[in-house]
Amino acid sequence: MRVAIVGGGICGLTLALNLKERGIACRVYERAPEIRELGVGITLLPHAMREFTTLGLGDALLKAGIENRECAFFNRFGQLIYREDRGKFAGYPFPEVGIHRGRLHVILYETVLRRLGREAVLTDRECTGTEQDDGGATVNFKQTTTGKPAETVRADVVVVCDGINSALRKQFYPNDKVAFSGINTWRGVTRRKPIFGGRTYMRVGSILTGKIVIYPIVDDIDGEGTQLINWMAEIKRDTTEQNDWNKPGNLADFFSLYEDWHFDWLDVAQMIRDADQILEYPMVDKDPIDRWTFGRISLAGDAAHPMYPRGSNGAAQAAIDARTLADLLKNSSDPREALKAYEAARVAPAAKIVRTNREQPPDFINIKVEELVGDKPFDDLDKYITQEELRALSERYKRIAGFALSDVAGPG
């Protein structure tokens, strides 16, 4: 069996490693001219680390990132709402890791080249379409840098892993478009001393009045204990104008929301001003679809189920897609039946997470408290909502997203 993987991001490279483990030949085709260390931070939840640990990458990712000890929720006045242990500190068999997205990508890429060979990933190849027949599928490419036609590829299976703006998904859903609800985001990285000991993931404020997520992704970058801190500012406005992807962010577009955020545990405004880099992104997803598989072609990762980056779940779901699909291809004599079985296994769980991230994401805790208390400091939060009730909200999201403690102990 020969598998063509369109897209060399987290999903495509993880699929290549899973296929190699099962003795299935594959090649990855990536539109970028080269794979470089780009982007900002990402959180690998325990069910994501389960998948990567199974591939032998757990120690490398833990070494490259920072193991989160706890998650803490605050209102926009810096008051603690709720705190919980995370990863192994909460009894999970796998850690929760904050890591630079570019480091994760390069680790996956270099592992694919080492295990599958230097020819396993072909860059500068933009997919322009596919056809299929009873004997297989043909994938057409052009060189990204020149626009000139590149050699066509023949495969038994084509897996589409080219992200939220997937060109191949458009072939099957020509009217496909992202769903934007007025939430824009700005992501940055700042060098500073550790916050709360340097192992805390922080959610501060709400998207209604200004929210920022903060967590460390690189430890001791200067030999003097300085960390690289990842942050993401989010705000919901009455607008149809959405940010671009990976475009340099303009401080003037959002800083006014945070310029008065000076807490006794962190000067948020100063952290934003001190950023090494700021990028803008839209908070978008797509409505869930019931069909991912079309004969010998199937969607995976963000090409199949793009979701709001609110629950740190995108990488985990892509990795679960990859493992599920590789298992089914290995155990089926007909790849088309394997792709149908993969669709049947993954469509409903992924759709549920997409909807939950829209309607009741992890930071629903912040929104709920803001609604109950009003947009003002509180004197005694228990008058409005108890810690047990907040814990129940957190556990509900984990169950839906597939990383409740009982879920992560076994296969997802």
pLDDT for the residue numbered 410: 53
CB 412 within 8 A of CB 93: no
**Residue found under tokens 């079309």:** 294
3-state DSSP assignment of residue 70 = strand
Q: Which two tokens stand for residue 391?
A: 């814990």
CA-CA distance, 61 to 49, in Å (whole number)?
9
Helix (H), strand (E) counts: the chain? 11, 20
pLDDT for the residue numbered 311: 64
CB 182 within 8 A of CB 237: yes
The alpha carbons of the chain give a radius of gyration, in whole angstroms, of: 21
pLDDT for the residue numbered 409: 72
User: Which helix or strand (DSSP H or E) is residue 325 part of?
Assistant: helix 314-330
CB 144 within 8 A of CB 31: yes
Contacts of 180 (CB under 8 A, 6+ apart): 240, 242, 282, 283, 284
Which residue segments constitute the domains of the chain, with CATH numbers given?
2-40+102-177+290-359 (3.50.50.60), 180-285 (3.30.9.30)
Q: What DSSP line would sit under 249-293, residue for residue? A: PPGGGTGGGTTT-B-SS-BHHHHHHT-SEEEEEEEEE----S--E
- Assign residue 143 a region: left if phi > 0, alpha if psi is -120 to 50, beta otherwise? beta
Q: What DSSP line would sit under 344-393, residue for residue? A: HHHHHHHHHHHHHHHHS-TTHHHHHHHHHH-SS--S-GGGT--HHHHHHH
Counted residue by residue, the chain has a size of 412
CA-CA distance, 44 to 206, in Å (whole number)?
22
pLDDT for the residue numbered 402: 75
**Residue found under tokens 């068999």:** 93
- List the 121-122 sheet strands across, edge first: 121-122, 25-29, 2-6, 157-160, 297-299, 293-294
How far CA 371 is from CA of 11, 250, 260, 374, in Å, comes to 37, 30, 21, 5
User: Which helix or strand (DSSP H or E) is residue 48 part of?
Assistant: helix 46-54
What is the value of pTM for the model shown? 0.93
3-state DSSP assignment of residue 248 = strand
Q: What stretches in the chain show pLDDT beneath 50?
A: 411-412
CA-CA distance, 321 to 257, in Å (whole number)?
38
**pLDDT per residue over 341-377, tens digit each?**
999 999 999 999 898 888 777 788 999 999 999 999 9
pLDDT for the residue numbered 37: 82
pLDDT for the residue numbered 40: 85
Cα dihedral 190/193/197/198 (nearest 10): 30
**pLDDT per residue over 47-92, tens digit each?**
999 999 999 999 999 999 999 999 999 999 999 999 999 999 999 9
CB 296 within 8 A of CB 157: yes
